[in-house]
Amino acid sequence: MRLLQFLFRASPATLLLVLCLHLGANKAQENTRRIIIQNFEIPTTANRDEEVTATLQVKTELKECMVAKVYLTSDVPVEGAFNYKYTRCLCDDYPHTYYWDFHTNRTVRIAAVVDIIRELGICPNDAAVTPISKNRFYTIKTLVVA
């Protein structure tokens, strides 16, 4: 009978321990690193034939490096530097900022796109990784031309 009483007394402590472990495990799962973090900035309005500067800052929280191809795309054709594509090694300790200067005569929706690609000779020692679940990240903004 005493043994049975001991088991009932230990039960609340055991339940508390299991609860704490469960809460700790859930918190650990929330602490995932983001593959790509984008900060895309462009003016919301511009005048006809005015030079517009688009800025994109790209960084990662992964410990491994990746080869990132960065470019802009739009729903209407835009000429000039708008079409430049950049390919660089992206690591967690060094974010990259990209700039595009261009002119447009009408309202345009612009997407800043980051593709994680497999390409040799970009990252040191070719030690780049490619995410399994997703390799294209984008942000869309609208530039209204008056």
Q: What φ, ψ does residue 53 adopt, rounded to 5°? A: -115, 125
> Residue 52 pLDDT > 90, yes or no?
yes
pLDDT of residue 49: 86
CA-to-CA dists, residue 73 to 1, 38, 52, 54, angstroms: 76, 15, 15, 12
* Region 98-105 average pLDDT: 94
Note the pTM of the prediction, 2 decimals: 0.76
Higher pLDDT, 11 or 141: 141
Q: What percent of the chain has pLDDT over 90?
A: 59
> Residue 16 pLDDT > 60, yes or no?
no
> Residue 54 pLDDT > 90, yes or no?
yes
Comparing 20-24, 38-42, 48-52, 74-78, the range with the smallest average pLDDT is 20-24
> Residue 12 pLDDT > 90, yes or no?
no
pLDDT of residue 124: 85
CA-to-CA dists, residue 144 to 5, 38, 43, 104, angstroms: 75, 22, 9, 10
Domain definitions of the chain by residue range: 1-31, 37-145
Find where tokens 């688009």 sit.
54
CATH architecture of 37-145: Sandwich (2.60)
Gyration radius (Cα) of the chain, Å? 25
Confidence of residue 117 (pLDDT cuts 50, 70, 90): very high
